[in-house]
Amino acid sequence: MNKQNQLTEINDSGKSYIIYKSKKGFDLYTNFSKKIILNSKNVSSFLSRRYKNKLKNTDLFIGFFGYELLNNLINIKIPKQKNINFPKGIFYKPETKISLGNNLNYKNNNNIKSKNNFKININRKLYTKIFDKFKKKIKVGQTYQIKICTKYKKKSKIDPLDFFCRLSKSNLAPEAFMIKDNDYSIISCSPENLITKHGSLISTKPIAGTVKKNQSMNKTKALNYFKKNIKETKEHNMIVDMERNDLSRICKVGSVKLSRTKVVEEYKDLFHYVTLIKGRLKKNVKNIDIIKAMMPGGSVIGCPKISTLNLLNKQEKENRNIYTGSFGYIKFNGDMRFNIIIRSILNFKNASEISVASGVVVDSNAQHEFSENYIKAKALIDLFK
């Protein structure tokens, strides 16, 4: 049986499975022997577990931390918010891993389309009001940059594999993943790697800076735009400094370096401004220390991290669920890879939600940032058409 037939057979069997983009293509994980639903009481023990260092490619846990759980882990309290009661985090122990190659093909014989439109939880008027409020916080020094989250929601049944296959062709991203479980699915074209750890080496790749693609904007012009744009440059520099500081808390003195500085990455509807930072871990740094230092990822929160998280959580009326959490794996030998969950669809209880955010700095414009949020969501919204 070829790999594409295997994928169709697994999908049609009703089994839970995960697909994750790797450097060599897409990897599928299934036949889960364990499913650990995380909460504030068991997350520390989960991250503190020790495992025998084996050589099997399934000796890992793969899954996600939700935003609320990551706040709890660093002792940030979230006020009571509107909640859909989605799990705070879930990790799976796979017994089977299949390499699918670079091309995913799946024919959906039961095309599911929903006619109703997405509803946004913050309209332009309310967004501007929140924007102006945060601008005042910046001017008095309570934060230097802060991200306003907007949600697009609609009632809908979806075929997650169909969505993911189409998304991988139209807007492939280096941190793309999907989860299909019995009662929920997640489809993501996340571009941002938060943690890659091999042995004592660790790296992070912050993204800060977005410009819309059009006929007159190519990759070279996008780079010139970012370099000349004061707002985008300030936003990028602040996030790079914060993530470099996060790494410095767990890395040897002097080992944290900028490996690739301010390069442009191209996606379906936009260009991003990106930097790669590397370091070497201190001795005796544990998995839980790494997670606490690096999560939630600063590029989707703002800075300084703690005070900005408190401002965000006080303002937001709805739980972020998976958005700005992290998806990835922890191997039994301690190596790990985690992204930041952005550009994602969460489908739960026959409802889909897409969350996006744009940054507010002292030079920001409310109309521009509100429009930027839609640009980020568009590739996902288009899947429903």
Cβ neighbour number for residue 136 with a 10 Å cutoff: 9
Question: Mean pLDDT per 10-residue run, the chain (385 residues)?
Answer: 81 94 94 97 91 82 97 93 95 96 78 75 94 93 90 93 91 92 96 94 90 86 90 85 94 94 84 93 95 90 90 93 97 94 95 91 88 89 89
Long-range (24+ apart) CB contacts under 8 A made by 304-312 are 304/143, 304/144, 304/242, 305/242, 305/246, 306/74, 306/76, 307/142, 307/143, 308/143, 308/145, 308/146, 309/71, 309/76, 310/76, 311/134, 311/137, 311/142, 311/143, 311/146, 312/146, 312/147, 312/149
Distance CA 4, CA 7 (A): 5
CB 52 within 8 A of CB 78: no
Taking the C-alpha atoms of 92, 93, 96 and 97 in order, what is their torsion angle to the nearest 10 degrees?
Answer: 70
What per-residue confidence (pLDDT) applies to 114? 64
**What's the token pair of residue 50?**
């020790």
**What's the token pair of residue 317?**
């009326």
**Domain 3-384, CATH:** 3.60.120.10
CB under 8 Å to 362, separation ≥6 — which residues?
135, 138, 139, 234
DSSP 269: S
What per-residue confidence (pLDDT) applies to 216? 85
Radius of gyration of the chain (CA): 20
Name the β-bridge partners of 154: 352
All structural domains of the chain with their residue ranges? 3-384
The reported pTM is 0.93
What per-residue confidence (pLDDT) applies to 54? 67
Reduce the DSSP state of residue 208 to 3 states and report it.
strand
What per-residue confidence (pLDDT) applies to 245? 93
What per-residue confidence (pLDDT) applies to 112? 61
